[in-house]
Amino acid sequence: MKRITLARIGYDKTVCFAVDELVKYLKAIDIELMIDVRLYDRYDAAVRDVIWVGVDDALVPLVPPVRDAYFDDAIHIDVTNSAGVITGANARSVLIAAYRFLKTLGVAWVRPTDDGEVIPQYSVLRLDAHVSEAASYRHRAVCIEGAVGYEHVRQLIDWLPKAGMSGYFFQFKRPFTFFNRYYQHVCNELIDEEGVSREDVDALVRSLYEEIGKRGLLLHAMGHGWTAEPLGFYSDGWNVEEDFPEEMRGLLAELNGKRDLYRKIPLITNLCYSQGRVRDLLTDAVVKYCKENPEVDYLHFWLSDAYNNVCTCEGCTDLLADYYVKMLRELDAKMSAAGLHQKIVFLIYYELLWAPLKERLENEDRFVLMFAPISRNYFKDYATLDFTKSYEHAPYVKNKMELPRDLEENVGFLQDWQKVFHGNSFVFDYHLMFWQTRDLAFMDVARVLFSDMKTLDAMGLDGMVSCQLNRCAFPTNLPMQLMADALWNKDADFDVCTSRYFREAYGEDGGAVFAYLDTISRRLEKEEEPPAAERITTYRELARHVYEFDRVLGANLKKAHLPAVKKSWEYLAHFREIFLRYLDALTARAEGVEENRAAKTEALFAYVRENSVHYHKVLDLWLALFLMDRNCYDYNGKVLRTAEVLAIPDEDAAEAAEKN
């Protein structure tokens, strides 16, 4: 009888979960395999013929060294003939190691969904695996965005440690807006609204916190909202507020001689930060939150989610960053006095791109710098830059900033901050938030994302939190997988990682899928729009390219036997239908007949909506339809302004309305 023994060390819930996952997947590979699970308080070298799973002082010398065993990950797997150890720098690392062990046996997770598990089935005779690695970067996390349901987020959280990722970020005090978009089905009128209350979302998030805790993932929380929450407003979205108590008016930023909510949206309103009362109001709220939420590891303390609305009163004469740093320093003193452990993430974004001239942080260990270059070009990668150089950027002129698009200028802002802050830092980037609809096949965006992750070390950054649609694995999950691969190992090879992914996701014809999608990515224009006649020719050639692939697609839809692989081909079949309709709409726009363009675009959207039940796990319609409509209607290779995406009134239109 085939039998292996797993020796669990201790009672840590994440180690317990790791052992449960090993049992689950080993039995899925070989149903005849018998597995004993023993529980020990500590590692005992005298106990033979078992696989030890867990963390123990005696095993520490085996694990690659890390700077901080709580925040950093390293794994050590040494199993020969079904005996040895699976351990790591911490319990989360043990879970990551367990999944890496399973990968050596042929298990793969090609999507962050329950239909993405590739589990080979064979008779297990002996288990052998040898891996000893430390993650290249500390920060390897994904942020909630887009429109999501509970299952979408839970399945993504479940996928993260399987891919070697280490954290998840719930934006806002209550991430209501993201769940509400999905349950209201704002993007698909064919589905009846289900409705979700703020209390419902609180309960969903509490459950998801448990899922995060079970996996030992690092929890990021809050972000924007601090300029709204302490004033009594909801900070769970870009909510419009018509009225507010008059006593609050003096706290708001003064613009054009008036103090008011900026465009009536608390989340995008700056306050008058030169006032000690305002700074106390915000920092006291942060301390209260940290006391009430000890499970949070990284508390994000950001200001307004808009630009060109900095207070112009007589008291606010310094740079916004100077007031911000002063407030951060005051916050640290209060947190230290209260004995609070959370790291505070501060945001380099909009006017805060300009580094402070006067103020400095003293206890740098409390803080983490977050660089958020939301307006950068996502079809050029950081590796094209020379980081031995100092890059210049535009001078600061209050409330006259233009979003920096060039990589060089964005990096110039980061370099200035790095001269005054020397603590831990990461990038908060948006590769999979807006830009993927310029690259429906995902191949070019995957290349840039992979290259950027490999380059973070040279930039002086310690990883990334990806601000992205959580349902972003259509037609493939290649960008997210490559992001995880390079965050774990900055020396990873694109061709090796890509070949492995397509083989796992599509089987023996994975190489053909790569070539098929790569051609689409390379042929579609992304920044510079060619003449109409040239575009029409390209679209027709791409349509023929799709038809030529039908033989491969049809054959694999019939022969694929592993459920996850078959599902990969089914998603590719839906991509075929969407992409052909997309080409029709682009062709009609290039031909210049508005009625035809409108009809073709509506045909595209009708198909996407009518069939969304088949791919809702991997495609977020909320933003995808909006962005595809832009492509089909009015080509714009420039950066998407946050205001446009969030349906915030256009700045020029708002200013005109104010004048009228």
Band the pLDDT of 240: cuts 50, 70, 90.
confident
- Positive or negative torsion for Cα 468, 469, 472, 477: positive
With a cut of 60, say whether residue 82 has pLDDT above it: yes
pLDDT value at residue 331: 98
User: By three-state DSSP, how is residue 419 classified?
Assistant: helix
**DSSP for 18-56?**
HHHHHHHHHHHH-TT-EEEEEEESS--TT--S-EEES--
With a cut of 70, say whether residue 596 has pLDDT above it: yes
pLDDT value at residue 623: 79
With a cut of 80, say whether residue 647 has pLDDT above it: no
Residues 105-152: pLDDT tens digits? 999 999 999 999 999 999 998 999 999 999 999 999 999 999 999 999
Residues 516-536: pLDDT tens digits? 999 999 999 887 788 999 999
Residues of the chain above pLDDT 90, percent: 85
pLDDT value at residue 641: 43
Fill in the DSSP letter of residue 259: E
Band the pLDDT of 658: cuts 50, 70, 90.
very low
In the numeric block, which tokens belong to residue 360? Answer: 């400095």
**Residue 498 buriedness (CB in 10 A; 0-12 / 13-18 / 19+):** buried
What is the model's pTM?
Answer: 0.94
- Positive or negative torsion for Cα 498, 504, 505, 507: positive
Residues 318-363: pLDDT tens digits? 999 999 999 999 999 999 999 999 999 999 999 999 999 999 999 9
**DSSP for 203-223?**
HHHHHHHHHHHHTT-EEEEEE
User: By three-state DSSP, how is residue 67 classified?
Assistant: coil
Band the pLDDT of 634: cuts 50, 70, 90.
low
Half-sphere exposure (CA, 13 Å, Cβ side) for 196?
24
Residues of the chain above pLDDT 70, percent: 96
User: By three-state DSSP, how is residue 622 classified?
Assistant: helix
Band the pLDDT of 635: cuts 50, 70, 90.
low
The average pLDDT across 620-635 equals 77
pLDDT value at residue 239: 82
pLDDT value at residue 194: 84
Residues 456-504: pLDDT tens digits? 999 999 999 999 999 999 999 999 999 999 999 999 999 999 999 999 9
**What's the mean pLDDT when you consider all of the chain?**
93
Residues 426-449: pLDDT tens digits? 999 999 998 777 899 999 999 999
Residues 254-301: pLDDT tens digits? 999 999 999 999 999 999 999 999 999 999 999 999 999 999 999 999
pLDDT value at residue 638: 44
- Nearest residue to 436 (alpha-carbon basis) of 168, 609, 620: 620
Q: Which of 54-63, 164-173, 177-186, 356-365 has the lowest mean pLDDT?
A: 177-186
| 3-class SS string, 289-356 | HHHHCCCCCEEEECCCCCCCCCCCCCCCCCCHHHHHHHHHHHHHHHHHHHCCCCEEEEEECHHHHCCC
With a cut of 90, say whether residue 640 has pLDDT above it: no
